[in-house]
Amino acid sequence: MLDTSNQPTLPPEIARRRTFAIISHPDAGKTTLTEKFLLYGGAIQMAGQVRAKGEARRTRSDFMQMEKDRGISVSASAMSFDYGNFRFNLVDTPGHSDFSEDTYRTLTAVDAAVMVIDGAKGVESQTQKLFEVCRLRDLPILTFCNKMDRESRDTFEIIDEIQEMLAIDVTPAAWPIGVGRDFIGCYDMLRDRLELMDRADRNKVAESIEINGLGDPKLAEHVPEHLLDKLLEEVEMARELLPALDPQAVLEGHMTPIWFGSAINSFGVKELMEGIGAYGPQPQVQSAEPRQISPDEKKVAGFVFKVQANMDPKHRDRVAFVRMASGHFKRGMKLTHVRSKKPMAISNPVLFLASDRELAEEAWAGDIIGIPNHGQLRIGDTLTEGEAIRVTGIPSFAPELLQGVRAGDPMKAKHLEKALMQFAEEGAAKVFKPSIGSGFIVGVVGALQFEVLASRIEMEYGLPVRFEASQFTSARWVSGDKAEVEKFVNANKQHIAHDHDGDIVYLTRLQWDIDRVVRDYPALNLTATKEMM
């Protein structure tokens, strides 16, 4: 647990930043909500989608087509926009469970999450999984119940379901009025206002009417009689039965405020954004070794949580997404790449803002910048102004599925190796080179990743590939006493491989094997995760 009891008073530029991700089950409305955020924030661009140009765009969008057909989003990206006094940094999470590792790492880069649920479906499987990941980090969560313009469940029922399934207190920030076709808007429970939805104009921000408490006769002017009685009764019950908003409990992740709306009708989005500003956390202290990093430190520090290769297939560039943990970064600064101890001049960092990627002239703690590079920057790397400090807690999971991979054209084996290494560094898959024999073994967390990889290798490298069954099903990283590791490796050559960092991995198909190794080599560590560094 981080020690946040002495959370510093932050400089205003940092204090106004809100860095968050959206978690949801596919189809709940994450994309639509994101678009509305950007619309209100005055930034039309979504990084990772509109960026590539011309020919490159076609290739990119073909790939996006695959995502679309699947109803999933396979690559995460970041976008920044201003709203009111706040600077929002939204980090997109891939929605499909096959990409949980990527998602997990993305969530290490944010201070809060917005949970989007479908008003007719409630808490779905993927919402629950992602929520559990947020809980591991005690991330504050704000909830948006979407699609209220359609038939939805009873409001109390939705709130109860969240409380029960996710074991978190829920406090209504708004209360919906009417259901489905009858839905006209919400009563703002926090500010005693009426927000009315405009069904005719989907891009119009809702009308907002000040109400002087529930007894205000103005209510009856705007809410039809048959809905008004129900509203009064429900709000009264809600105030009696449900906990009131406790900002501290929200920041600690014990309570989530819920807004009701319809992203596609732009309804409730503004209130949600204001809520993120008012109740969402400022940039937080970052766990690191040998000491944690506080956002108000004068010196700049940041860490890589994602690497995306081939965003523009014409240039084999990679962009490392860096979460700034402290200080005030200025373009051109020389930072130390802690892993290699080498200085790096950060001359062309990008910010994913406005209509294209823009050069980031500056960035503050909480911001996400992209640093184009040729492979030096890897997931988990820390950049500082010289201090040897390393951000911790960015995991690499043991893959659960292993397959062999071959180039369709055997002459292209070298190209395949290059492509695989690139994806390994990007974190899209684990790649193991067995110490005996040729070829590679690729490990992923979900089966769909094989398909995505095959299609990306073909598209980005022009290499048709074949995945085939592997004799192995499990991988464990090997570490520990040097002599013991050597003895173990020599005795188990046919099970040994190296990952893209050159670390030793033990491949097997039997849990029994793993148990045996643990018993026979007590000075050895076999681990299912490796912290990235």
- Residue 30 marked in a binding site: yes
Q: Is 32 in the site for ligand GDP (CB under 6 A)?
A: yes
Q: What φ, ψ does residue 347 adopt, rounded to 5°?
A: -95, -25
Q: Is 28 in the site for ligand GDP (CB under 6 A)?
A: yes
Q: Is 45 in the site for ligand GDP (CB under 6 A)?
A: no
- Residue 96 marked in a binding site: yes
Q: How far is the CB of 196 from ligand GDP (least distance, A)?
A: 15
Residue closer to ligand GDP by CB (options 127, 326) is 127
What contacts 31, CB < 8 A, 6 or more positions away? 73
Q: Is 271 in the site for ligand GDP (CB under 6 A)?
A: no
Cα dihedral across residues 314, 351, 270, 160: positive or negative: positive
- Residue 160 marked in a binding site: no
Residue closer to ligand GDP by CB (options 57, 121) is 121
Q: How far is the CB of 442 from ligand GDP (least distance, A)?
A: 27
Q: Is 103 in the site for ligand GDP (CB under 6 A)?
A: no
Residue closer to ligand GDP by CB (options 93, 474) is 93
Q: How far is the CB of 161 from ligand GDP (least distance, A)?
A: 18
Q: Are the C-beta atoms of 117 and 157 separated by less than 8 Å?
A: no
Q: How far is the CB of 183 from ligand GDP (least distance, A)?
A: 10
- Residue 149 marked in a binding site: yes
Per DSSP, the chain holds a count of helices (H) and strands (E) of 14, 33
Distance CA 206, CA 196 (A): 6
User: Binding-site residue total for ligand GDP (CB under 6 A)?
Assistant: 16
State which of positions 249-268 bind ligand GDP (CB under 6 A).
262-265
Q: How far is the CB of 262 from ligand GDP (least distance, A)?
A: 3
- Of 30, 96, 357, 476, the one binding ligand GDP by CB under 6 A: 30
- Residue 28 marked in a binding site: yes
- Residue 94 marked in a binding site: yes
- Of 21, 29, 126, 360, the one binding ligand GDP by CB under 6 A: 29
Q: Is 98 in the site for ligand GDP (CB under 6 A)?
A: no
- Residue 29 marked in a binding site: yes
Q: Are the C-beta atoms of 350 and 319 separated by less than 8 Å?
A: yes
**What secondary structure does DSSP assign to 47-107, as a single string?**
TTTS-S-HHHHHHHHHHHHHHHHHT------EEEEEETTEEEEEE----SGGGHHHHHHHH
Q: Are the C-beta atoms of 80 and 367 separated by less than 8 Å?
A: yes
- Of 19, 31, 49, 75, the one binding ligand GDP by CB under 6 A: 31
- Residue 165 marked in a binding site: no
Secondary structure string (H, E, C) spanning 308-342: EECCCCCCCCEEEEEEEEECEEECCCEEEECCCCE
**Tokens standing for residue 208:** 């907002």
Q: How far is the CB of 528 from ligand GDP (least distance, A)?
A: 30
Neighbouring C-beta atoms of residue 144, cutoff 10 Å: 29
Q: How far is the CB of 233 from ligand GDP (least distance, A)?
A: 26
Q: Is 24 in the site for ligand GDP (CB under 6 A)?
A: yes
Site map (CB under 6 A) of ligand GDP, residues 141-180, x = contact: -----xx-xx------------------------------
Residue closer to ligand GDP by CB (options 130, 263) is 263
Residue closer to ligand GDP by CB (options 128, 527) is 128
Closest CA to 445 of 173, 196, 43, 102: 102
**Tokens standing for residue 441:** 């073994």
Distance CA 419, CA 428 (A): 11
Site map (CB under 6 A) of ligand GDP, residues 352-391, x = contact: ----------------------------------------
Secondary structure string (H, E, C) spanning 375-443: CCCCCCCEEECCCCCEECCCEEECCCEEEEEEECCHHHHHHHHHHHHHHHHHCCCEEEEECCCCCEEEE
Q: Are the C-beta atoms of 143 and 256 separated by less than 8 Å?
A: yes
- Residue 26 marked in a binding site: yes
Q: How far is the CB of 47 from ligand GDP (least distance, A)?
A: 16
- Residue 93 marked in a binding site: yes
Closest CA to 458 of 19, 59, 36, 11: 59
Q: How far is the CB of 100 from ligand GDP (least distance, A)?
A: 16
- In this chain, which stretch among 26-34, 120-128, 159-167, 441-449 interacts with ligand GDP, using CB under 6 A? 26-34
Q: Are the C-beta atoms of 60 and 47 separated by less than 8 Å?
A: no
- Residue 98 marked in a binding site: no
- Residue 146 marked in a binding site: yes
Distance CA 459, CA 393 (A): 33
Amino acid at 241: L
Distance CA 442, CA 49 (A): 27
Q: Is 27 in the site for ligand GDP (CB under 6 A)?
A: yes
Distance CA 97, CA 444 (A): 12
Q: Is 392 in the site for ligand GDP (CB under 6 A)?
A: no
User: ω into residue 464 within 30 of 0, thus cis?
Assistant: no
**Tokens standing for residue 360:** 């980031």
Distance CA 507, CA 517 (A): 12
- In this chain, which stretch among 24-32, 41-49, 250-258, 270-278 interacts with ligand GDP, using CB under 6 A? 24-32
Amino acid at 518: V
Residues that constitute the known binding site for GTP: 24-31, 92-96, 146-149
Q: Name the residues that contact ligand GDP, by CB under 6 A.
A: 24, 26-32, 146-147, 149-150, 262-265
Residues that constitute the known binding site: 24-31, 92-96, 146-149
